[in-house]
Amino acid sequence: MPEPTPDTELTLTHGPYALTVSPYGASLRGLTHDTEPVITGYHGEGGKVGGQGDVLIPFPGRVANGRYTFEGQTYQMPLNDKESPSAIHGFLRTQMWQAKEGAVDDSVIFHTELVPDQHPGYPFALSVAVTYALSDAGLTVSFTIENIGDGPAPVAAGFHPYFTAGSDHIDADTLHLPFDSYLEYDGLLPTGKVLSVDGSPYDFRQPRPIEGTAFNTCFAAPRRDVDGLCRIRLAAPGDARTRTVWLDSSLDYVVLYSGDPLPESHRRRSLAIEPMTCGSDAFNHPEWGLVALAPAQALTGSWGVTTE
């Protein structure tokens, strides 16, 4: 088998579902149901727009000024965000992972490691696995992050899929977002305040059309069903197609991004629903879900999507 490249892709199938993933960044490059897109996709690394399908480890979102303090020591990471003086979305999006395909054609496990001093400002060692699995119920994405170092490590996880219910634009789609709070932002960074969605443009606790709502917003305080899952629903007009994104108990935050700054070909064409274990800039606000992972301990979780 030839060495994988950023353009290497694997296709998984199960019944009406087809999933495209890549060992480059363990990226999710598209999900269809009966050939209709559920998660908008791309082919080849050069086709990615707006972080589509990225795995965001060991932190999702931005770290203000790339600087944080952990266990009494201050660290400085490179400022790799194109839009602000920040570090953004972790280190694994451009790392080649190892793929272990399942015994059948509907699952794959990607694995990689972070070693100390591999990335300036993050001198911690992690073993990371992400599993993509298709079933009759849809797609399940699971992750395990193990601290393989000698001391505690700051750890979080997030994912960056864009969902579509088949509409040309999301404005007429109906959104049900059962979250009670959101982080106040000043530009692209949170101020430190957590606000109620009551009376705000972001209250979708009762399903309603998205219309012109612009999202680049981190939500907190999910309402969970009796089975412990939080379910976010995106439905086409008339409920012709519904995508239900579920989050397990490890994922208490979600970022919604409507892609308004993206090129016209992608602007408001789909909705990024980004499951996260922490809030944005949690390295500077550890109370928002940052995990201080002890040696030999692991952070695990899962999310997925079903179709109706």
- The structure's pTM equals 0.96
Residues 128, 113: Cα–Cα separation, whole Å: 6
Q: Is the pLDDT of residue 216 over 80?
A: yes
Contact 279, 288 (CB under 8 A): yes
Query: What is the mean pLDDT of the segment spanning 94-99?
Result: 96
pLDDT confidence band for 102 (50 / 70 / 90): low
CATH level 3 topology of 10-307: Beta-galactosidase; Chain A, domain 5 (2.70.98)
Q: In whole angstroms, how far apart are CA 210 and each of 52, 82, 174, 176?
A: 21, 28, 6, 9
The per-residue pLDDT for 90 is 96
Structure tokens at 115: 């070693």
Query: What is the mean pLDDT of the segment spanning 170-195?
Result: 97
The per-residue pLDDT for 67 is 98
239 φ, ψ to 5°? Answer: 55, 30
Tokens 């750890």, located at residue: 155
The per-residue pLDDT for 287 is 98
Structure tokens at 129: 């696995």
Spatial CA neighbour of 87 closest among 76, 72, 97: 76
Which range among 152-156, 185-189, 300-304 shows the weakest confidence by mean pLDDT? 185-189
Q: Rg (Cα) of the chain, in Å, rounded? A: 18
Q: Is the pLDDT of residue 238 over 90?
A: no
Query: What is the mean pLDDT of the segment spanning 5-18?
Result: 96
Contact 205, 178 (CB under 8 A): yes
Which of the 8 DSSP states describes residue 96? B
Q: Can you give the residue ranges of every domain in the chain? A: 10-307
Sign of CA dihedral 280, 212, 306, 177: positive
Q: Is the pLDDT of residue 103 over 90?
A: no
Structure tokens at 99: 């793929």
The per-residue pLDDT for 11 is 95
Chain segment 118-173, per-residue pLDDT in tens: 999 999 999 999 999 999 999 999 999 999 999 999 999 999 999 999 999 999 99
Pairing of strands 179-186, 242-247: unpaired
* Three-class DSSP labels, 105-126: CCEEEEEEEECCCCCCCCCCCE
Q: What is the overall mean pLDDT for the chain?
A: 96
